[in-house]
Amino acid sequence: MNVRIKIDGLTYSYSYDENDAVHDVSFEVNEGEFVGLIGPNGSGKSTVLKNIYRALTPDKGAIFLDGENLLKMSHRKTALKQAVVGQENDVPFNFVVEEIVAMGRSPHKKLFDIDTAYDKQVIRHALEHMGMADMAKRNYQSLSGGEKQRVIIARAIAQESSIFLLDEPTNHLDISYQMQIFDLIKRLKVTVLSAIHDLNMASLYCDRIYVLKDGKIVLSGTPEEVFTPENIFNVYGVRCSVEKHPITGKISITFLPEEIIKTHSVVDKPLGGNA
């Protein structure tokens, strides 16, 4: 299989007197895969992604994109390969939607180059893919959260990069937007590495998952391999039951409040060991 992203022993600390935010993290993302990074708040998901999109520079270890050392690549080449959709996208204000999407074209152009017919076609196509063509002239700030995120993904599409790095791209969005955004990204057939907060979403959309805890990868595998009650208890300290869903065929997780575990004799043996 063709490895697109390879992380080898990544270690990063925000300051000398603190523990490593991520420590000796190694993993790979193959061509066309949708790979999820999961783990509790503060486990290091964003730090890993920021090292890949070069907002941070590793203290130790190396990152390779298509076999090439990231730190030896120009920023333009990095941007041609990978598009980033963050959690809070602080977009410069007072831009209309199509201007923001046009920013995705910048790695393809020199400063002050005007948009070619091809650029315009790519921008229009990206807006159409995200169902935002009607809103091309709207001010970005006037959009709802879900619409804003669709614009940011349209910008990533206009960038024509075949690797997408996503940091909890659907946080703060309601369930229909969450599913719509993951569905639209899935349809692009790009290689995806995404931090995902919601375990059921990760189960529905990911081919493989890496689990971070305290800055280290503690588990990896398919959602079916990773999402067992034992693993979820060990990582999150929460009881759950899991079943293969009859319609999706994917693992579906139901979290069990302590009160219910106590009062329901059906769950007399606490799930997840270590009790």
Pairing of strands 240-244, 82-85: unpaired
* Number of residues near Mg ion (by CB under 5 A): 2
Taking CB under 5 A as the rule, does residue 46 contact Mg ion? yes
| Dist CA 176 CA 146 (whole Å) | 9
Tell me whether residue 161 or residue 194 sits nearer to ligand ADP (CB atom).
Answer: 194
| Dist CA 78 CA 161 (whole Å) | 9
Q: How many CB atoms lie within 10 A of CB 52?
A: 22
Taking CB under 6 A as the rule, does residue 57 contact ligand ADP? no
Q: How far is the CB of 45 from ligand ADP (least distance, A)?
A: 3
* Number of residues near ligand ADP (by CB under 6 A): 10
Among 36, 47, 150, 252, binds ligand ADP (CB under 6 A): 47
257 within 8 A of 224, measured Cβ to Cβ: no
Residue 227: half-sphere exposure toward Cβ, Cα within 13 Å: 27
Name the residue with tokens 């130790």: 60
Among 39, 104, 107, 272, binds ligand ADP (CB under 6 A): 39
Near ligand ADP by CB under 6 A, which window of 35-43, 113-121, 140-148, 200-208?
A: 35-43
Taking CB under 6 A as the rule, does residue 46 contact ligand ADP? yes
> 22, 39, 12, 32: which is closest to 236 by C-alpha?
39
Which residues sit at the interface with Mg ion, rule CB under 5 A? 45-46
Which residues sit at the interface with ligand ADP, rule CB under 6 A? 14, 21, 39, 41-47
